[in-house]
């Protein structure tokens, strides 16, 4: 019986390992590249229709760039700003217009402005599916963050049918 005990213990441990392994892993959803490209393109087109030349950045849920496009006459600073807006929206799980308002000097959250990559300017939005963050979008180049955000919202509306909202 003593010789069987290690074999029995090993067998029992192997039965519990898959459940433990599943508990050790996180599952998440992310935008497919095709949808991220469509979101960026539709957003840029919306800005063009409004008369603005912009850059558009789409990130995954972790703030990593999936797509970055710049219209031909958009300022040279716009790609960096668009990326930072998308990163900020993904990182803080909030639109950047709200972040701008909530992080003003003297407000409890003002310290996040010291994050080097964060930018507190309107134009960054989260991409959510069924209550989960799947990505973010940032737009830069329209005359103000509110206009950047309007373009992003049009882009988000364009991909609604592609996602299970």
Mind listing the pLDDT tens digit of every residue in the chain (165 residues)? 556 555 555 555 565 555 566 688 888 888 999 999 999 999 999 999 999 999 999 999 999 999 999 999 999 999 999 999 999 999 999 999 999 999 999 999 999 988 999 999 999 999 999 999 999 999 999 999 999 999 999 999 999 999 986
Q: What is the 3-state secondary structure (H, E, C) of the chain?
A: CCCHHHHHHHHHHHHHHHHHHHHCCCCCCCCCHHHHHHHHHHHHHHHHHCCCCCEEEEEECCCCEEEEEECCCCCCCHHHHHHHHHHHHHHHCCCHHHHHHHCCCCCCCHHHHHCCCCCCCCCEEEEEECCEEEEEEEEECCCCHHHHHHHHHHHHHHCHHHCCC
Q: Quote the pLDDT of residue 23.
A: 81
Question: Could you read off the pLDDT of 22-36 as tens digits, one per residue?
Answer: 688 888 888 999 999
Predicted structure pTM score: 0.85
């Amino acid at each position: 019986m003593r010789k069987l005990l290690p074999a029995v213990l090993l067998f029992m441990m192997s039965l519990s390992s898959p459940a433990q392994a599943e508990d050790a892993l996180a599952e998440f959803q992310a935008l497919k590249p095709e949808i991220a490209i469509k979101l960026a393109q539709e957003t840029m087109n919306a800005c063009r229709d409004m008369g603005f030349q912009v850059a558009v950045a789409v990130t995954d849920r972790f703030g990593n760039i999936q797509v970055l496009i710049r219209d031909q006459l958009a300022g040279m600073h716009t790609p960096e700003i668009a990326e930072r807006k998308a990163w900020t929206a993904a990182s803080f799980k909030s639109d950047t217009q709200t972040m701008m308002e909530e992080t003003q000097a003297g407000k409890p959250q003002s310290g996040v402005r010291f994050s080097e990559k964060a930018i507190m300017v309107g134009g960054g939005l989260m991409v959510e599916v069924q209550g989960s963050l799947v990505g973010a979008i940032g737009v830069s180049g329209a005359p103000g963050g509110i206009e950047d955000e309007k373009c992003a919202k049009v882009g988000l509306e364009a991909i609604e049918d592609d996602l299970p909202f």
